[in-house]
Amino acid sequence: MEEKMGKDITKILVECMLDKILQDSRSSPRRLARNLVDISLNFAKGRFQKRFLSDAQEMLKNPESAYYELVSDQIANVDRKHMVTFGMNLGYNGCTVGAKRIREIEAEQNLNIPWSLSLLLDRERLLINPDSYCRIIEQGRKIGIYVYLFFLHDENADLCLPLIE
């Protein structure tokens, strides 16, 4: 119980810190990008996390990096709550909690588990049996997969909204 409580407190602290950083970000989106990477690198435990964040840190040393424009656009046009939710889902749930669970299962069962799944959504399948995709996501979450990339053939994005929730 204490370990779960500790994890909940860690998640709350990270989420509050992220929200505060994003709240103060409008004045300097470039500094925001660098600070988020630097802070994340301090908390990174796994070698893949450290490598990814070190690469990101290196890219942000270039003042002409396209990522600065991307961050500026995001700060100007995306609701802060949505950015916090996305960041927590991808960074904390996907790359921290999920990655830990994946590593545990891989070690126990001597197999490889991806940290993300790409799903090509079929309109007919979504209409006839929408729960089939939900079951895939539920099964993935049990083994630590929290990151899903959805691809649609047509413009019926509203059909995948229940999956995103």
User: Is the same domain home to 120 and 52?
Assistant: no
| pLDDT recorded at residue 165 | 66
Interhelix angle for 29-43 vs 47-59, to 10°? 160
| pLDDT recorded at residue 156 | 66
User: Is the same domain home to 19 and 90?
Assistant: yes
User: Is the same domain home to 49 and 130?
Assistant: no
Number of structural domains found in the chain: 2
Mean pLDDT of 81-92: 89
CB 117 within 8 A of CB 149: yes
CB 121 within 8 A of CB 151: yes
Does residue 1 surpass a pLDDT of 60? Answer: no
25 burial class (0-12, 13-18, 19+ CB within 10 angstroms)?
A: buried
| pLDDT recorded at residue 5 | 47
User: Is the same domain home to 34 and 84?
Assistant: yes
User: Is the same domain home to 78 and 66?
Assistant: yes
User: Is the same domain home to 36 and 98?
Assistant: yes
Does residue 101 surpass a pLDDT of 90? Answer: yes
User: Is the same domain home to 52 and 74?
Assistant: yes
User: Is the same domain home to 65 and 140?
Assistant: no
Find the domain containing 47 and state its range.
1-112
| pLDDT recorded at residue 133 | 87
User: Is the same domain home to 119 and 98?
Assistant: no
The phi and psi torsions of 156 (rounded to 5 degrees) equal -95, 55
What's the predicted TM-score (pTM) here?
A: 0.74
Chain mean pLDDT for the chain: 86
Q: Is the pLDDT higher at 76 or at 154?
A: 76
| pLDDT recorded at residue 21 | 86
Percent of the chain clearing pLDDT 70 (strictly above) = 93
User: Is the same domain home to 89 and 128?
Assistant: no
Distance from C-alpha of 52 to C-alpha of 147, rounded to nearest angstrom:
16
Mean pLDDT of 114-137: 87
| pLDDT recorded at residue 11 | 87
User: Is the same domain home to 64 and 133?
Assistant: no
